[in-house]
Amino acid sequence: MNLLLDTHLLIWIGFEPHRLSPLARGFIEDSSHLLHFSAASLREIAIKCLAKRPDFTAEPRSFRRGLLAEANPP
């Protein structure tokens, strides 16, 4: 199954995995599922970072590298 992860899920996976429901975690961790994300999500993360929100400390470039590394394991 193909799963398109929205921005919230990407942030929760990366920074607050405890917020994922057991059902969501099961879908994401199922190796038979292909996970996808949109470039728009990376843009949203960059906007949140630029807004200097105290509850959001992600560095967009590092976040992108991490997502791509997970998408293309060695």
pLDDT for residue 62: 80
pTM of the model: 0.71
CA dist., res. 17 & res. 5, Å (int): 14
List strand residue ranges (DSSP E) for 6-72, in order: 34-37
Q: How close are the terminal C-alpha atoms of the chain, in Å?
A: 22
Residue 9 reports pLDDT greater than 80: yes
- pLDDT tens digits along 10-38: 888 877 889 999 999 999 889 899 888 88
**For residue 14, how far is the Cα from the chain centroid?**
6
Predicted local confidence at residue 74, as pLDDT: 55
